Structure 1
Amino acid sequence: MNCLTKKNAIKFNQNGSLYRYSIDQTNGNTTLTSDTKGRVDIQGLEAGKYYLKETEAPKGYNKIQKSIMIEILEDGTIKVDGNPITGDVRVQNNTGSLLPSTGGMGTTLIYVVGSILVLASGIVLFSKRKERTN
Structure 2
Amino acid sequence: MMNDAFSPLERLARGLLLVFILIWSVAPILFIVSSSFKRQVDIFVYPPRVVFAPTFDNYIKLVSQWQDFFTSMGNSLIVAIGATVLAGLVSFFGGLCLFALPQPLHRVERGLHDRGARPAADRSSRCRCSRSRTGSGSAIRICC
**Bigger radius of gyration among the two:** 2
Structure (1 or 2) with the greater helix fraction: 2
TM range (shorter): under 0.3
Structure (1 or 2) with the greater strand fraction: 1
Q: TM-score, length-normalised on structure 2? A: 0.27
